[in-house]
A and B are shown apart, each in its own frame.
Chain A
Amino acid sequence: MNDTSESIIGRAAASALAQMRRQGFEHAQAAASVLVLTELNVAHNDPSLLRSTEQRKLSLLGIVDGRKASTELTEFHDDAVRERIESLHAQTLCAPRDDANAVSSGQQARIVQGPQAPDEAVLAGKVQELLDFRARETPKMLVDEAFVAHTRVESRLLTSGGSDLACRLGWYGMNVFGTAREGNRSSSFAYTGGSSDDLSSAHACAHFGIEEMLRDTERQIDTQPVPARFVGDVVLSPGAVADLVEWLQGQVGDMQLIAGTSLLRQRVGEQVASPLLTLKSRFDAPGVAAVSADGFATPAVHLLKAGRLVTLLPSLYGSRKTGLPHVPVAAAGWEIEAGDTPRAQVVGGVARGALVGRLSMGMPAANGDFSGVIKNSFLVENGQVGPALSEVMIAGNIARMLNDVVSVSRERIDTGDLHLPWIRIAGLHFS
């Protein structure tokens, strides 16, 4: 990002905020951003497309007499913004009054993070490394889609309460999606990817578990179902552990807290998960800015400390609505602390169960019940990893699973927004 774009978005946010005040908004928030993406794409094992995009956004939120509305537009010029602010004002007056509506006050942040300009030689080099590795090491693998990208985002958020948050982020990203195929037989599709400040320090396939995904997928062409229903253990890979984290975050966020349907609302300070689990923020991760969407700087926070629920995570609105303490969080950036068990031992302790790469399932029920198909997965018996599985489902309850964690691996995969270990959980129903 350069000084020119910085001044453009700064002017756009300031001008919009001033216009909103003139329009009659009692409280207002204006955020302007520019995103520039350079992305090199692979299709069906070959380099295919180079993309350059520039996206602008002006996000406005206004409050009049406790009534709130928001809007977004992509044009920064005065006439378009003025017209939109007028319609936003009309939209606001139609909304019901709600004293929980507010904007942030007095927040200040200046964040500059990550590589600010793309190195196209790095993008091309990583694509070539990926394709060379595939051809040499995993020739049955068909990389259906992949990309290596650089993203720059510059944003400025201003509020009528004097908050001023400015961010200049740059990061590299890489994703690989594909299927292994031999004759007429195919594996399930598999994927992985993530964000990093530095792709060049290691081989492309050393990032985000890409090498392991490519090698494992080749071993998943021939699969078998489980012969009978049983109760056993699962070792969730980091990609599947992310589903647990997502469920937990939903339970402590606005929607469930306001509706009163959270299973955890009354349990702050209590043990809600295995003592082996500590979940905390990493709001300085690649591609993540330590600011919240509602205009707060986001200090580091623990959600679980040795299985104890440390806090809930209501936004400013959620906090004012429920009376719970406000805990601002960034859009992403979480990690589960590494355990002290080598991954091989985590798997080696399974008498009967599965090593699960991916859970294909719907949103768990409000009470935590879930069932799903385990994909990119292997049977484990007597601690030995066996054949790949197909048409196997597991069922359980996520709230209970968090308590039934038996071991957490020393190794983790860092995808930028998440840094997660392998986790073994007992007592799942296989069918």
Chain B
Amino acid sequence: MAYTETRRHELRKSRMLMIDGHLAVNSRTAESGISARVYRDGYWGFASAPGDAGLPAVTDRALRNARAMTRFGERQALALPAEVHRGAHEFRGRPPLSEAECMERLAELHAWCARRYPELESTRFMLSDEDHAKHVGTDAGADAANRIQRAQCYITFSAVGDDGAPVELTESLSAKGSLGDLTLGVEALAPLLDKLHEHVQAKRHAVAARGGLHTVVLAPELAGMLAHEAMGHPCEADLVLGGSVTAGLVGQRIASELVTMIDAAHHFAGEETMIPVYADDEGTPARDAVLIERGILKEFMTSRETAARLGIPATGSARAYTPHDEPLVRMRNTVIVPGTAKLADMIAGVDDGVLVLKTGNGQADSTTEFMFSVTLAYEIHNGRLGRALRDTTISGSAIKVLSSVDAVSDDLYWSCSGYCGKKQPMVVSMGGPALRARAHVGGQ
């Protein structure tokens, strides 16, 4: 079995950071390159070079690298899945913002916040977008052009807490497309900014969380993170091959019957997703991977090689971040399917617990023990919201936490901000409704 794949890849990014009205970062970058990956005699060779290098030379180098691996002995080559995709896909959003328009938006936001919230110590606004254009071909006939674009805006307010130490809170906005597809006007953002300010004021008087197992209501903004970290990573086939405990659990109950979780390729509920992947970077047609269906573990996300190793279908989940990276199994648009409960009722039904509204980063584990940082949470007592909590962390075994889910709201919130980290960064989206579950809260 032999296989050759080539990729032309251009990655463009822009980033502007305004701290208290001062433009600290104003950068636009473009990285282009070509790569080839060759599978021969059970080994891989990879080579990449700047965009003006010749593809035949890069492919030849990859082939020589694969052949050089035979120094480690003979190896049985796998029969890789053969499906190929031919086609081009590109999101056509609103016109991108010019440099001058970006500066105007930043200056307006800063000036408006400085006037409206004079007691804040500091404001930070970060605008960024990135545009991945890839053209993948394989010797089996794949010919796929994909363009993934996403834009982000981070708004951070800093104030002084009761103890004299700084208190911060960040709101992130994200959109498919360029910065032109993000709503950045002051009028439109005013309610969101007021809410952020209100939360920062509450955090100034925040109390430490009580450590231990609690009933937590996770706002829709967090369910996607839970999906991604708790059970998304453990369902990536390379991690399954690497020892993830999910390896032996297909067909078994690992979550409440209320939980259905999908890694959507390019559409969900009839709409194109924020990171639409029609074909992955191996030229495989991308299809949805239903990870959990009504609480039962169903399948994994795969590349060609991991699909062959596990004897399961290829889902078109192999993606590379830069022109110099090889494709790895990555999530695309991971979502917990909405239920029927109302968020207000879910809170009202908690005697003693925590409402979690905003998160920072998260981390998964092969054991399915996950964590994510919590930057905004409130106590719940007798069904009512209480004091804000200082920054904390939520963790638990994904299987235990998802099995404890007793309510899933009818909301659905999507986000494509931040990066998923796994050897390479990656742009992904996450979505979900509010969930109520039992999880470990860090604290005193």
Instruction: Name A's B-contacting residues (CB within 8 A).
Output: 37, 41, 43-44, 46-57, 68-75, 77, 84, 87-88, 90-92, 94-96, 98, 100, 120, 124, 127-128, 142, 144-145, 178-181, 184-189, 229, 254-255, 258-261, 263, 317, 321, 360-373, 375, 390-391, 393-395, 429-431
Interface centre among A37, A41, A179 (most CB of B within 10 A): A179
Check if B168 sits within 8 Å of A75, measured CB to CB: no
Check if B166 sits within 8 Å of A366, measured CB to CB: yes
Interface residues of B in 345-374 (CB under 8 A from A): 359-363, 365-367, 369, 371-374
Check if B27 sits within 8 Å of A258, measured CB to CB: no
Check if B166 sits within 8 Å of A145, measured CB to CB: no
Check if B168 sits within 8 Å of A365, measured CB to CB: yes
How far, in Å, is B64 (CB) from chain A's closest CB?
A: 9
Answer yes or no: B94 CB below 8 A from chain A CBs: no
Check if B19 sits within 8 Å of A142, measured CB to CB: no
A98 touching B51 in the complex, CB below 8 Å, given contacts A50-B66, A186-B367: no
Check if A98 sits within 8 Å of B22, measured CB to CB: yes
Check if B245 sits within 8 Å of A186, measured CB to CB: yes
Residue in contact with A259 in the complex, picked from B20, B44, B423, CB distance below 8 Å: B20
With A74-B51, A75-B52 already in contact, 11 other A-B pairs whose C-beta atoms are closer than 8 Å: A44-B242, A47-B69, A179-B366, A186-B367, A259-B20, A260-B158, A261-B121, A367-B163, A371-B391, A371-B443, A391-B397
Interface residues of B in 178-230 (CB under 8 A from A): 208-209, 211-212
Answer yes or no: B32 CB below 8 A from chain A CBs: yes
Q: Which residues of A contact B423 (CB under 8 A)?
A: 145
Check if B24 sits within 8 Å of A258, measured CB to CB: yes
Q: Which residues of B contact A368 (CB under 8 A)?
A: 165
Check if A100 sits within 8 Å of B22, measured CB to CB: yes
Cα–Cα distance between A366 and B156 once the two chains are bound (Å): 12
Q: Which residues of A contact B43 (CB under 8 A)?
A: 47-50
Instruction: Name B's A-contacting residues (CB within 8 A).
Output: 19-24, 26-33, 35, 43-53, 61-62, 65-66, 68-69, 71-72, 75, 98-100, 102-103, 107, 121-122, 124, 158, 161, 163, 165-168, 208-209, 211-212, 238-239, 241-245, 247-248, 324, 326, 359-363, 365-367, 369, 371-375, 390-393, 395-397, 423, 440, 442-444
How far, in Å, is A210 (CB) from chain B's closest CB?
A: 17
Cα–Cα distance between A422 and B52 once the two chains are bound (Å): 48
Cα–Cα distance between A18 and B31 once the two chains are bound (Å): 23
How far, in Å, is A115 (CB) from chain B's closest CB?
A: 20
How far, in Å, is B219 (CB) from chain A's closest CB?
A: 16
Residue in contact with A372 in the complex, picked from B33, B163, B166, B371, CB distance below 8 Å: B371
* 27 contacting pairs across A/B (C-beta < 8 A): A43-B238, A48-B44, A52-B46, A54-B50, A69-B28, A70-B26, A75-B32, A75-B51, A84-B30, A91-B99, A179-B244, A186-B367, A187-B367, A188-B369, A229-B212, A261-B121, A360-B395, A367-B166, A371-B211, A372-B371, A372-B442, A373-B395, A390-B367, A390-B369, A395-B444, A431-B211, A431-B212
Q: Which residues of A contact B122 (CB under 8 A)?
A: 259-261
A391 touching B395 in the complex, CB below 8 Å, given contacts A49-B326, A53-B48, A55-B50: yes
A188 touching B165 in the complex, CB below 8 Å, given contacts A179-B243, A431-B440: no
Check if A369 sits within 8 Å of B390, measured CB to CB: yes
Residue in contact with B168 in the complex, picked from A43, A71, A77, A366, CB distance below 8 Å: A366
Check if A47 sits within 8 Å of B72, measured CB to CB: yes
Check if A260 sits within 8 Å of B442, measured CB to CB: no
Interface centre among A96, A363, A375 (most CB of B within 10 A): A96
Residue in contact with A180 in the complex, picked from B28, B51, B243, B443, CB distance below 8 Å: B243
How far, in Å, is B318 (CB) from chain A's closest CB?
A: 13
Query: A372: nearest residue on chain B (CB-CB)?
Result: B393
Residue in contact with B30 in the complex, picked from A73, A179, A189, A360, CB distance below 8 Å: A73
Residue in contact with B361 in the complex, picked from A71, A74, A261, A363, CB distance below 8 Å: A363
Check if B19 sits within 8 Å of A259, measured CB to CB: yes
How far, in Å, is B297 (CB) from chain A's closest CB?
A: 13
A55 touching B211 in the complex, CB below 8 Å, given contacts A77-B52, A179-B242, A180-B243: no
Cα–Cα distance between A15 and B248 once the two chains are bound (Å): 59
Cα–Cα distance between A68 and B99 once the two chains are bound (Å): 12
Check if B51 sits within 8 Å of A188, measured CB to CB: no
Interface centre among A181, A363, A368, A395 (most CB of B within 10 A): A395
